[in-house]
Amino acid sequence: MTAIPHGRTRRTALASALCALVVTGTGLTGCSGGDPDAGTNGVGKLPAEKIQARSRAAADSAGTVRLSGNVVSNGRTYRLDMRLKSDGGTGSVTSQGVTFGLLRVGSQLYLKADTEFWNRADGKATSGGAADKLDGKYVKVPQGDPAYKRFSGFTDKNVLLDGLLTLHGTLATDGHHQQSGVRTIRITGDKGSGGTLDVSLEGTPYPLRLARAGGAGTLSFTDWGKDFALAQPEKSETVDYGKQLPAS
């Protein structure tokens, strides 16, 4: 038997290692027919409809999630950074250059913002110095106030996922990709015009990134199943304005 020179052996081993790195790190093929689904959860081999169903089931069963990115709704862009669970959520929303915090525990919704927010609500200044009193406080949002319906959905895991995790049109797969170091399979609606969704190929097939149809925002989903504290604010930090906020 002819001996293989040590140099060739080392080159072969190096090429194999580089190929494995490429396939594992990026999901790309091309290294002697490397399988991009090797070592994954297997959803990458499924039809797009089943990938979407598996992803949605995983999202529904997860107790918590962190959602961040942009959402365009009714002509207004909202920058979200929310942590959500079944009984509430907390985080921040930025719209038209103003950032405010939201906290919902059970059915009680609180809005926390600075003086600028309250003075700019509906483009009107809040009278009587009320804006200063609300600065940095958790303001109880009455359920009958228009702000409750407008903002509570940002703190509701089920409502948000129902509205967001939907692709429109004919579904198809669009190759293997990567999100924050995690291998994904991408599915599209109508070749991307109906939105795109990246689903994890590692562990549970959670949705990791969504580009909404029509340029209506891009969102990332992280911290699936990681619990976080959610509690009512201290009374000293809370303002209750009764049935209606001073500026909705």
Measured distance CA(99)–CA(135) in Å, rounded = 12
Q: Of all residues in the chain, what percent carry a pLDDT higher than 70?
A: 79
Look at 9-23, 101-115, 144-158, 213-227 and tell me which has the smallest mean pLDDT. 9-23
20-31: per-residue pLDDT in tens? Answer: 444 444 444 445
For 42, the enclosing helix (H) or strand (E) is: none
Name the residue with higher pLDDT: 47 or 145. 47
Asked if residues 206 and 224 have their Cβ atoms less than 8 Å apart, the reply is yes
> What is the structure's pLDDT at 147?
87
Helix boundaries (H) for the chain: 6-26, 48-61, 115-120, 130-134, 146-152, 157-164
> What is the structure's pLDDT at 10?
52
Per-residue pLDDT at 224 exceeds 90: yes
Measured distance CA(216)–CA(76) in Å, rounded = 10
> What is the structure's pLDDT at 132?
75
> What is the structure's pLDDT at 163?
85
Sign of the Cα pseudo-torsion (190, 195, 200, 206, in order): negative
Mean predicted lDDT score pLDDT of the chain: 84
Token pair recorded at residue 227 = 């619990």
Per-residue pLDDT at 1 exceeds 60: no
Decide the pairing of beta strands 98-105 and 88-95.
Answer: antiparallel
Look at 33-37, 65-69, 101-105, 165-169 and tell me which has the smallest mean pLDDT. 33-37
Domain limits, the chain: 43-61+163-222, 75-161+228-239
Q: Grade residue 61 by pLDDT with cuts at 50, 70 and 90.
A: very high
Question: Residue 64, exposed/middle/buried by CB under 10 A (0-12, 13-18, 19+)?
Answer: middle
204-214: per-residue pLDDT in tens? Answer: 999 999 999 99
Name the residue with higher pLDDT: 229 or 96. 229
Q: What is the pTM of this model?
A: 0.80
Per-residue pLDDT at 158 exceeds 80: yes
> What is the structure's pLDDT at 116?
82
Q: Grade residue 110 by pLDDT with cuts at 50, 70 and 90.
A: very high
Asked if residues 88 and 230 have their Cβ atoms less than 8 Å apart, the reply is yes
> What is the structure's pLDDT at 248?
45
Look at 63-77, 80-94, 112-126, 130-144 and tell me which has the smallest mean pLDDT. 112-126
